[in-house]
Amino acid sequence: MPFLLDTGLVDIECWTNVVQGSVSKSPKSNIQQSNVQVYMKKLLFLLPFGLLLSACSNNFDVTAPWKEIPIVYGILSPQDSAHYIRVEKAFLDPEVSALTIAQIPDSLYYPESAITVWLIRTSDQVALQLQRVNGALEGYPRDPGVFAGQPNWLYKAIPTGGFSLQAGKTYRLEIRRNDGRPTITAETTLPADFTVVRPILSDPVPKIAFAGQVSSLVKWRTDVNGYYFNLTFRVRINERNLNGTLVGTQEFVWEAAKNLERGETPVTPGLYDVSAFVTGNSFYQFLAKNLQRPASGRYREFGTCDIIIDGGGKEIKEYLETASANGGLTGAETFPNYTNISEGYGIFTAKNQTIAQNIRIDGVTVDSMNMSSIADTLGFVK
């Protein structure tokens, strides 16, 4: 069964990094073939992301007339100044070539007059209507491929007045159709702000060490709405002349750990621990890939670093579990399709971010680096 997938908006292995303003730039579209149900030769799935419909459903009637299937994607984050939701259509058409339909924008998008899109904070029912915008003009062009690239319609929300995204609150997405059919809905709850437990931020000088094969612990706490996490370090490095004058400062972003899960048992009522163990050698390898030996007459020293914690909602966890359970040689022959949308397919979820700033990198790090064959030529001193 030939079908087309617009692989769109989410990189599953680094889900928080590809999303910018709740929409990311899409990797190139691709064409996949299924050896299951090969009789469905003109079933076309036009998806705005590479998340869903990874195989065929045996519930489709290919002799039925053209059928529209809503497709929705969005990630809310209180750190974003604007929020984008992608609303498109998948469809079944047994009469028209998939490649032909893929180039027709009207086949991808709802007419502007057909729907309105709303975000509603459920605690007080404050609502905000989203505005239809061309993503290409917002900095989110669609990559070239078999799908029509222009326009790239998205629905944009800019919090104003009494509407804002608040950590710990639940938000409902409503896509209201103007033809009398039921409203398409989905809900997600923003994780509360995360609390860093290690390193100890209340210390007079919070610090972290990276020492060879020894693992350094980074630990934080989340409420019940945080499920999957990425840990990133933003590291500042000063380069100086031998007389101490500053040549310049570089900042590096190190993605230290991805797709960490919180514990299942709360450590205090409503709060769960998340732990990441990071070895010194992994830090040295990152530095060695990004730095060369300093110029003659210069040396390097560590400035401070920031610890960045990104955490996503339960919908991301549920999607990843579905994908993992059905991938590989032992996966299911027919794939269940993950969705938390009331009709159609898609994912509507939320994330949050906490940054612990100006953490000192302990001097033991430099001592260990200078005894390591990985980073002993990088010119660091305490």
pLDDT one-digit tens code per residue, 345-368: 899 999 999 999 999 999 999 999
Q: Taking residues 176-199, what's their average pLDDT?
A: 96
Longest dimension (CA), the chain: 81
The pTM (predicted TM-score) of the whole model is 0.79
CA distances, 293 to each of 148, 246, 251, 363 (Å): 47, 17, 17, 20
CB-based burial label for 157 (10 Å; 0-12, 13-18, 19+): buried
The predicted pLDDT at position 25 comes to: 32
- Do 286 and 375 belong to one domain? yes
Is pLDDT above 60 for 153?
Answer: yes
The predicted pLDDT at position 20 comes to: 30
- Do 185 and 210 belong to one domain? no
- Taking a C-beta distance cutoff of 8 angstroms, is the pair 89, 362 a contact? no
The predicted pLDDT at position 16 comes to: 36
Average pLDDT of the chain? 80
- Do 215 and 185 belong to one domain? no
Q: Taking residues 7-23, what's their average pLDDT?
A: 35
- Do 184 and 306 belong to one domain? no
- Do 235 and 284 belong to one domain? yes
Is pLDDT above 50 for 107?
Answer: yes
Q: Where is pLDDT greater, at 193 or 68?
A: 193
> Could you give the number of structural domains in the chain?
2
Q: Classify 14 as helix, strand or coil.
A: helix
- Taking a C-beta distance cutoff of 8 angstroms, is the pair 308, 231 a contact? yes
* DSSP annotation of 293: P
Question: For residue 39, which amino acid is it?
Answer: Y
Among 138, 161, 190, give the residue marking a domain's end.
190
Query: What sign for the dihedral angle of Cα 23, 28, 34, 38?
Result: positive
The predicted pLDDT at position 191 comes to: 96
Among 130, 157, 190, give the residue marking a domain's end.
190
Distance, in Å, from the CA atom of 338 to the CA atom of 323, rounded to the nearest integer, reads 8
Among 166, 190, 214, give the residue marking a domain's end.
190
- Do 130 and 210 belong to one domain? no
For residue 333, give its domain range: 191-382
Q: Taking residues 166-181, what's their average pLDDT?
A: 95
Residue 143 pLDDT grade (very low, low, confident, very high; cuts 50, 70, 90): confident
- Do 268 and 359 belong to one domain? yes
CA distances, 117 to each of 57, 63, 186 (Å): 28, 32, 12
Distance, in Å, from the CA atom of 245 to the CA atom of 111, rounded to the nearest integer, reads 62
- Do 31 and 115 belong to one domain? yes
The predicted pLDDT at position 84 comes to: 94
The rounded percent of the chain whose pLDDT value lies above 90 is 59
Lowest pLDDT segment from 50-59, 133-142, 284-293: 50-59
The predicted pLDDT at position 105 comes to: 72
Q: What is the per-residue DSSP string for 88-142?
A: EEEEE-TTS-HHHHHT-HHHHS--TTTEEEEEEETTTTEEEE-EEEEGGGTT-PP
Q: Where is pLDDT greater, at 86 or 142?
A: 86
Q: Where is pLDDT greater, at 325 or 139?
A: 139
- Do 53 and 124 belong to one domain? yes
- Do 277 and 227 belong to one domain? yes
The predicted pLDDT at position 158 comes to: 86
CA 30 to chain centre: 20
| Phi, then psi, of 137 in degrees rounded to 5 | -85, -10
- Do 181 and 199 belong to one domain? no
Distance, in Å, from the CA atom of 226 to the CA atom of 272, rounded to the nearest integer, reads 9
Q: Token pair 């990441």 is at which residue? A: 276
Q: Taking residues 94-112, what's their average pLDDT?
A: 76
The predicted pLDDT at position 106 comes to: 73
- Do 159 and 197 belong to one domain? no
Is pLDDT above 60 for 341?
Answer: yes
Residues with Cβ within 8 Å of residue 19, at least 6 apart in sequence:
9, 10, 75, 77, 351
Q: Taking residues 250-261, what's their average pLDDT?
A: 96
Distance, in Å, from the CA atom of 307 to the CA atom of 305, rounded to the nearest integer, reads 7
The predicted pLDDT at position 141 comes to: 85
Question: For residue 140, which amino acid is it?
Answer: Y
- Residue 144: asked if its preceding bond is cis (omega within 30°), the reply is no
Distance, in Å, from the CA atom of 52 to the CA atom of 336, rounded to the nearest integer, reads 9
The predicted pLDDT at position 98 comes to: 64
